[in-house]
Every structure is written in structure tokens, then in C-alpha cells.
Amino acid sequence: MIHYKRSVMNRMLIAIALFATFCLQAQPGYQPSAENQEAREWFRDARFGLFIHWGVYSILGDGEWVMNNQNISVQNYEKLPGFFNPVAYDPEMWVKMAKDAGMKYITITSRHHDGFSMFDSDVTEYDIVDRTPYGKDVLKMLADACHREGIKLFFYYSLLDWRHPDYFPRGRTGKGIKGRPATGNWDDYIVFMKYQLTELLTNYGDIAGIWLDGHWDQVKWDGDKWGDVQVDWQYDELYPLIHQLQPGALIGNNHHLRPFEGEDFQMFERDLPGENTTGWGTASSDVGDLPFEMCETINGSWGFSLQDDSHKSPKKLIHALVRAAGHNSNLLLNVGPMPDGRIQPEHVESLAEVGRWMRKNGETIYGTHQGPVAPRDWGVSTQNGNRVFLHVLDWHEAGLLIQDIMEGVTSVRFFADGGPVEYKQTKLGLLLTLPGDKMDEVDTIIEIFFK
Ligand code: H79
């Protein structure tokens, strides 16, 4: 028998316990169905989606975390649905805007951390139909428009709930919100979520996926890394339920950890895969091999924020999309519609501009994967078959040496006009000559053909 030191033994036991916890939470032995695999392929090729954060929080124009950030009591927050009357809501227009921008899918908040259901739910009256003067199921209206227009629809669904009495034990956030009872039954909360997920996957036709968020509310944070979970999220029941109801529905969970079994894509919040600019994001060692999706805001906020003027320029948005593609990732770009149902005109305008760019250059984004040239500050590469697209985003000299390409090039041209690019294969790599007058201010795309 091998004798371990006590400290080593302890560490091993902790590791086994942690491993067991995560295995239990997932869908053990998960084998994606043929339908699911096909959906993943579609997702990988789609590359660009619209994220929508819309809820009763939008009324206050201070983001979707306003209940927590302003410590609004449950009782006071419950007044908000009474004001929600989006008379200018036109789902057809949203869908057309997304399509014109070159987006292939929409992901919308069905219920955020505030616990308000933006759909008609039988397990709660705290929903759009029962509590708002508008009285209509905005998700149903959107789902119908999506199906008519041939764009896929995902539902964002919050695991965390600042209002539900059975969301107990409470998590790390929402502690300053008054009016949350001091008891609750966790198992009942899980049943509630199962019921709602069943509704979402039954009453709205084909759903492309479920985007979960809030796992981290129940995880201990050690200041620099995630610790253990204090509850059982029962993913071993939630995930099979979702896959049973709609085998093609893709599950993603914004837990910032290595994907659990049963998930179908991995998401990165405001980070490219492998980056962890926030410090609480996904560590580079936790990047898995499922399809990637990076989500980002069009200004600095998810839910509508009246005072947020930090609108990203079309150029910046295009760069985000191109860089994501150059990292094998989709971009899920967010807008926060206003309480009347309109999307801020400045965002509509920017998306139209991105769409104009995509109509010209979409071929270098859709259906591609990361190319052989590793992402650099100056740009990234994408690839489709024997064609590599070099996206030069920020380079201001006549010579560009591509060290990642040593051989096999048959021709090189500017994607924009098909004109030839002067090139030389050197011992250090492929040397391109890029005359200033051929450079595009947003993205100079160079098409490299291989044998
Ligand atoms: O829906 C949007 C946000 O409302 C939601 N996800 C996006 C898509 C989101 N909620 N929180 N965050 C994003 C980041 C917040 C992390 C925090 Fe924390 C949780 C801050 C405090 C608790 C991480 C964990 C940092 C410290 C502890």
C-alpha cells in the first residue's frame, strides 16, 4: 500500500469530492443526438447573433442589475410590471434588424435575475401577461416573427432569482434587497425552474437553445478563483429535460468554468476564449472543445441604460466580430431595448452599418474556422477549405511578415477587388507588400490560396 502524507491525502480527497460534485451536476455519459450535432454545426457556422436584454428593469434605464445595485425591495420592485407597456414593440422589426445586420440568431432574456418572467407562465403570476398593462406574451410574438423570418431563437434563462422565496439558500448577490423571506425550499425552486423550462421548450415552437446564467451566485469566490458550490443545481435533471423536450436545443451555461457534461457550447462573457480580462471570467485552462460564443455589449450595458453613451463604433463592432471569428468563436452582440419596445436609434444605425460590411465580406466570416495565422494585435485569420482570409485590422507599414505561413501558397490577392498582392516566401515566413492606398480603414482582407 502506498503511504501518502496527510496533506497530500487531504488534497486528493478534496479533488475527488470536487470532481464528484461537478460530475453529479452534469448529464453523465451525455452523447449528443444526431440532431444536436447538426445544430452545433449550424451554430459554429452562424458566427453572429443578437443578444437582447429586455425586462421590467428597462423602465428604470439603469441596467438589468438595478434591483441589486439600488437595493430595491421586493415590494417596491413589484410595482414595475404595472408600468410596462411597450406600445412601440414590433418584433418583426427587431428580427429584420438582426437579419440585416447579418445575424443568424437571437438570444433573448426570458427571465433575468430579478425573477420577472417575460413570457406567459403557469407557475407564477409574476409574468408579462398577468402583471403588465401590455398583457401580451412578448416572447411568443418574437418566436412567431423569428419562425416566419427564418432566424433561430435562444432563450436566456437565469438560474439565480432575487425574488423567488424558494431561491434559498440565498447566493452571494442581492443581499441588500429587502423583503426576501428567511426560509425557502431549494427543491421546490428546482421544480419551478423545470416547469418554466418545459414551458419555454413546449409553447414557442423550435428553440435553438437555452442560455443559462447565475450559477456563480452559489459558488464561493476565493478572491482569485472559484470555489465549491453551496447548492445542487440538479443539472443532472435539468439538462436531460431540455434535451428530451428538444434534442436539437443547445445548452450553454455562463458558469465561467470548463464545460460540464451535457452542455453543447461554451460561452465567454465579454472575453475572447482564453482571455480573462475581468479576473472572474473563464481561465484559459478551462477552454474546452465545444463551439464557442463570446457575448459583448453594444455600449457598456446589457439592459437599457439611459446614461450609457459609450456606444461602440461600427468599426469597433466589426473588429469584435472578426476577432471572435479569428478565435473560432461566435459573437453574440447585445442590445437593451427601451421600455417602449424600440431599440435605441444609434444602435439600429450601427447594426445597419455592420450589415453593410457583412454583405460584402460575410464569406470571410460565416462557415469559417480559425485560420493558420494565430491571432495578433494587428489582426486574425479565418479559413474555409484551401482559402485563408487574413484580416488586417491594425497595421500601418508596407511590409507584413506572416511567420505562421512557411509554404504551400499558390496565390495571394486582395479580397475587396481581387487585385494581386505582391508576396515572397522567405525563410522567416510569408512576406506581404501592402501599399497604403490598398489598405481599408476597417479591415483589409487578404485572401491566400493554398495547394
Ligand atoms: O445578463 C448579463 C449580466 O446581467 C450577467 N451576465 C450577462 C450576460 C452577469 N451578471 N453578473 N455578471 C454578469 C458579472 C458579475 C459577476 C459578479 Fe461577482 C458576481 C460580481 C459579483 C458577483 C464574480 C463573482 C465577481 C465577484 C464574484
pLDDT at 12: 37
User: Global pTM?
Assistant: 0.94
How many other C-beta atoms are found inside a 10 Å radius of the C-beta of residue 123? Answer: 15
Say how many Å lie between the CA of residue 48 and the centre of ligand 1.
23
32-82 confidence digits (pLDDT tens)? 999 999 999 999 999 999 999 999 999 999 999 999 999 999 999 999 999
Say how many Å lie between the CA of residue 4 and the centre of ligand 1.
40
Say how many Å lie between the CA of residue 256 and the centre of ligand 1.
10
Residues 6+ apart with CB under 8 A from 81: 56, 116, 126, 128, 131, 132
φ and ψ of 56, to 5 deg: -70, -20
Nearest-CA residue for atom 5 of ligand 1: 213
208-236 confidence digits (pLDDT tens)? 999 999 999 999 877 777 778 899 999 99
pLDDT at 401: 98
Amino acid present at 119: F
Domain 8-367 grouped into CATH 3.40.50.720: no
Distance separating alpha carbons of residues 112 and 377, to the nearest angstrom? 35
> 269 CB less than 6 Å from ligand 1?
yes
Least Cα distance to 415 among 364, 352, 374, 450 occurs for 364
> 302 CB less than 6 Å from ligand 1?
yes
Answer with the residue of higher pLDDT: 119 or 1.
119
183 by Cβ neighbours in 10 Å (0-12 / 13-18 / 19+) ranks as exposed
Please state the atom number of ligand 1 nearest to the C-alpha of residue 269. Answer: 8
Least Cα distance to 407 among 387, 426, 392, 421 occurs for 426
Whether 8-367 and 379-450 share one fold: the answer is no
All three cell numbers of 366: 460565416
User: Which sequence spans correspond to the domains of the chain?
Assistant: 8-367, 379-450
Q: What's the CATH code, domain 379-450?
A: 2.60.40.1180
> 173 CB less than 6 Å from ligand 1?
yes
Say how many Å lie between the CA of residue 254 and the centre of ligand 1.
10
Cα dihedral 332, 325, 271, 310 sign: negative
pLDDT at 25: 52
* Ligand 1 pocket test, candidate residues 269, 271, 332, most atoms within 8 A of CB: 269
For residue 15, pLDDT beyond 60: no
Strands lying side by side in the sheet with 292-297 = 250-253, 209-213, 152-158, 105-111, 48-52, 329-335, 292-297, 266-269
Say how many Å lie between the CA of residue 180 and the centre of ligand 1.
20
For residue 267, pLDDT beyond 70: yes
For residue 164, pLDDT beyond 60: yes
